[in-house]
Each structure stands twice: as structure tokens, then as C-alpha cells.
């Protein structure tokens, strides 16, 4: 089955700096890669996703890149703000959607004031 590795497990950055979280996947058939943000005491919230027919997608301060050859994808957050502090999860699926999502173990992002 699919295996998703996520790094780092904890990331501390100064407010205003950029943050990058990286994930690798094992199943070359995977074609859907969402990213979720989980705040304390809440369920994960989808923040951006990318499908295997594109290499990059942006939404304001958030961007995701995908390298199918290397089987890795990354989340980039620019101009970080205190409200970006949360746990971020990457995931991969070969079903084109939410059936059979495999998650990374999460990255705790800390924004230092």
C-alpha cells in the first residue's frame, strides 16, 4: 500500500519568514495530494490540494509543488503569521479523491513572534 513520509515533524520560523514542509510517497499510481491544517481541538481542514497533472498550485500565501518523478510534494507558506501556527498534514491517494487517503504523520508549525 501507499506510504507517506513527512518532514520535519516540528518547524519553528520567525513571523514573516517562509515555511516549507516536505512529503514523499511510495505509490507511483497516487494522483491526488491534499494538505490539511489542524488547529488545537479541531478537525483537519483542507487548505490546498494538487493533482498529478499539474506541477504547482498557489492560493494567496500558500503554494504546493509536486515532482512526480521524484515522488515528492511540498507545502510553502510565505509571510507567515501567528495564525499559521498549527499541525499540518500531507496526504496521498491513488483514487483521485478521498477514497484511500494515506496521511503523513504531521508537522507542528510554530510561528515565533
The 3-state DSSP class for residue 32 equals strand
Q: What length does the chain have?
A: 113
Q: Pseudo-torsion of CA 80, 73, 65, 17, nearest 10°?
A: 20
Smallest gap, in angstroms, from Cβ of residue 22 to another protein?
15
Stretch of 22-30, 31-39, 57-65, 71-79 lying at the interface with another protein (CB under 8 A): 31-39
- Asked whether 4 and 88 are in contact (CB, 8 A), the reply is no
* Contact flags string 41-80 toward another protein, x per CB under 8 A: -xxxxx--x-x-----------------------------
Residue 27 within binding range of another protein, rule CB under 8 A: no
Place of cell 510553502: 76
Q: Contact residues for another protein (CB under 8 A)?
A: 1, 6, 32, 34, 36, 42-46, 49, 51, 89, 91, 96-106
Amino acid at each position: 500500500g501507499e506510504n507517506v513520509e513527512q518532514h520535519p515533524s516540528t518547524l519553528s520560523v520567525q513571523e514573516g519568514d517562509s515555511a516549507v514542509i516536505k512529503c514523499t510517497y511510495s505509490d507511483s499510481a497516487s494522483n491526488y495530494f491534499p494538505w490539511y491544517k489542524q488547529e488545537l481541538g479541531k478537525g483537519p481542514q483542507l487548505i490546498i490540494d494538487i493533482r498529478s497533472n499539474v506541477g504547482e498550485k498557489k492560493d494567496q500565501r500558500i503554494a504546493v509543488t509536486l515532482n512526480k518523478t521524484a515522488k515528492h510534494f511540498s507545502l510553502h507558506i510565505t509571510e507567515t503569521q501567528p495564525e499559521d501556527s498549527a499541525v499540518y498534514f500531507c496526504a496521498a491517494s491513488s483514487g483521485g479523491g478521498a477514497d484511500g487517503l494515506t496521511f503523513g504523520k504531521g508537522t507542528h508549525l510554530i510561528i515565533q513572534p
